Amino acid sequence: MQWLMLQQEKPEDYVIATGRTETIRKFVEITAEKLNWSGPNKKSPIIWEGSGINEIGKRADNNKVVIRIDERYFRPTEVDELVGDSDKAYKKLGWKPTTNLEELIDEMLIEDYKIAKKELSSTQ
């Protein structure tokens, strides 16, 4: 896809997106499920407590807090919903998404694991 963009006569901006919208909460829950953080009840791998800015997420398997809201990362002008429109990439490049969110999370976890393993071995 990047190669296709670079082959164009005139440089242009393209949006590369699936068109799927998910919440951060759902992203965290999918990731935690893939990490096998479900507790003995085998329900949600994240236990949500509190509300609003004081909400936290705990691992269901060991009750450790792994999610906190940090106002430093709030956008100055937040939007209600973000959805990428990749129509231009499809029309001009013939590109369409082939990786779904769950597969992307798998790839991210694999790469993070490699980095963590490398960092751990360099400290021993």
Please report, for the chain, the start and end positions of each structural domain, with discontinuous segments joined by +.
22-116
Q: What is the pLDDT of residue 88?
A: 93
- In eight-state DSSP terms, residue 9 is S
User: Would the pTM count as exceeding 0.85?
Assistant: no
The C-alpha atoms of residue 23 and residue 1 are separated, in whole angstroms, by 26
Q: What is the pLDDT of residue 13?
A: 93
33-58 pLDDT, tens digit per residue, is 999 999 777 788 999 999 999 999 99
Q: What is the pLDDT of residue 43?
A: 82
Q: What is the pLDDT of residue 60?
A: 94
Please give the C-alpha separations between residue 86 and each of 9, 92, 94, 105, in angstroms, as whole numbers. 20, 10, 10, 20
Strand partners, 58: 47, 65
Tell me whether strands 65-68 and 46-49 are parallel, antiparallel or unpaired: unpaired
Q: How many other C-beta atoms lie within 10 A of the C-beta of residue 48?
A: 14
Give the DSSP letter string of 9-42: SS--------S----HHHHHHHHHHHTT---TT-
- Architecture per CATH, domain 22-116, reads as Alpha-Beta Complex (3.90)
Cβ atoms of 60 and 47 closer than 8 Å: yes
Question: Which residue ranges of the chain lie beneath pLDDT 70?
Answer: none
